[in-house]
Amino acid sequence: MKLREDQIERYSRQIILPNVGGKGQEKLLAAKVLIIGAGGLGSPAALYLASAGIGTIGIVDSDKVEFNNLQRQIIHSIKDVGRPKVESAQDRINAINEDVKVTTYNLRVTSENILDIIKDYDIIVDGSDNFPTRYLVNDACVLSKKPLSHGGIFRFDGQAITIIPGESACYRCLFALPPPPGLVPSCQEAGILGAVAGVIGTIQANEVLKYILGLGNLLTGKLLVFNALDSSFRQVKVPKDPKCPVCGENPTVTKLIDYEQFCSIKRR
Amino acid sequence: MAVKVIIPQPLQKLTNNLADVEANGANIKELIDDLEKNFPGLKERICDETGKIRRFINVYVNEEDVRFLKQDNTSLKDGDEVSIIPAIAGGR
């Protein structure tokens, strides 16, 4: 791939970065990134990845844009209310950058469809909003050996971790089981500050760019914890768990399961 | 053993909205019992009926997850920082 004149101009500020250059830009243009959820996390992630010139961006979401989404889901506009989020996101991405080929999936990922969707991508961004999807995405990525950027937000707190299957801890190594249903309120019930989603979604975009460019240190084997009220970031270590049911020494999860059921079991 | 404990958002309603509190204990188990004295209800959010730390909540001493140390027998010393970090799933 040879960069066009307009691409050299558009991406000049990142091409001049140490260890990026034209070669790095070509890697970005050849890269394929799947974003699950065009919401609070997926919006900033998609906008930065599109602006940086990721060649192919897939977006999965089955929802339509609602007026109360605009407080944080910054990829959508007033005129998009009522439209499928994937279409709104596609239009906004291409309004910024026509280099980006956008593939839309107006659906929910399930155990039946996810492996087929992720197989064409280099790295996955999880911006979903519920535990069943998070465990589904983790397990699918581990089983398919696809790198995964995980981000989660709750009120004024955020978390992010990058998972390289086979090398670093997965989401189940971090949290073996989900909380029982009803114990942890959703953003809809608990509230979320839009900028918190922006911080974590932007960190996810940054992780993807570093992964594709081969730069720096990824958030692998560690969880980044953001506290918006203190403006503090902390990191804690996340070792691979030898007893992890999906990536441990004797895995018991060797194919995708029913995640709604997995997350609705009442455990002690 | 005076230890600073960092409380996550979902549990701060039990700590009078404090994001960090002081507590004492020679190990994590004692620390959680001490927290419960000052902030009733906190223990049952962190531990199950058998007293074990719940699987969707991690407890860290400084940067280390106690699951990979000695679980709730992990010892504490003055100046340690304990973080309670639950799984959060929000993204929209």
Smallest CA–CA separation between B34 and chain A, in Å?
22
Residue pair A33/A54 in contact (Cβ under 8 Å)? The answer is: yes
DSSP-assigned beta bridge partners for residue A33 = A57, A123
Residue B92 lies in a domain: no
Q: How many domains does chain B have?
A: 1
At residue A182, does pLDDT exceed 90?
no
Q: Give me the residue from A154, A174, A230 closest to B10, CB to CB.
A: A154
Residue B27 lies in a domain: yes
Over range B31-60, report the average pLDDT. Answer: 95
Q: What is the pLDDT of residues A69-122, one digit of tens each?
A: 999 999 999 999 999 999 999 999 999 999 999 999 999 999 999 999 999 999
Using pLDDT thresholds of 50, 70 and 90, give the confidence band for residue B36: very high
CB–CB contact B56 A177 (8 Å):
yes
CB–CB contact A192 B83 (8 Å):
no
pLDDT at res. A191: 86
CB–CB contact B88 A235 (8 Å):
no
pLDDT at res. A32: 98
Smallest CA–CA separation between A144 and chain B, in Å?
22
pLDDT at res. A189: 73
pLDDT at res. A197: 97
Structure tokens at A251: 């895995």
Counting one residue from A and one from B, how many pairs have CB atoms under 8 Å apart?
110
Using pLDDT thresholds of 50, 70 and 90, give the confidence band for residue A188: low
CB–CB contact A175 B50 (8 Å):
no
CB–CB contact A159 B85 (8 Å):
yes
Using pLDDT thresholds of 50, 70 and 90, give the confidence band for residue A252: very high
At residue B71, does pLDDT exceed 60?
yes
Residue span of the structural domain in which B66 resides = 2-86
Strand spans (E) along chain B: 2-6, 20-24, 57-61, 64-65, 81-86
Using pLDDT thresholds of 50, 70 and 90, give the confidence band for residue A266: low
> Rounded to an integer, what distance in angstroms lies between the CA atom of residue A183 and that of residue B8?
14
Smallest CA–CA separation between B37 and chain A, in Å?
22
Q: What is the pLDDT of residues A16-64, one digit of tens each?
A: 999 999 999 999 999 999 999 999 999 999 999 999 999 999 999 999 9
Q: Could you tell me the domains of chain A?
A: 31-264 (3.40.50.720)
Smallest CA–CA separation between A177 and chain B, in Å?
5
Residue B24 lies in a domain: yes
pLDDT at res. B4: 96
Structure tokens at A87: 């279409």
CB–CB contact A127 B91 (8 Å):
yes
- The pTM score is 0.96
Identity of the amino acid at A33: V
CB–CB contact B88 A153 (8 Å):
yes
Residue B68 lies in a domain: yes
At residue A268, does pLDDT exceed 60?
no
3 state SS of A201: helix
Q: How many residues does chain B have?
A: 92
Instruction: Report the CATH number at residue B12.
Output: 3.10.20.30
Q: What is the pLDDT of residues A144-166, one digit of tens each?
A: 999 999 999 999 999 999 999 99
Contact residues on chain B for A131, CB-CB shorter than 8 A: 87, 89
Residue pair A145/B81 in contact (Cβ under 8 Å)? The answer is: no
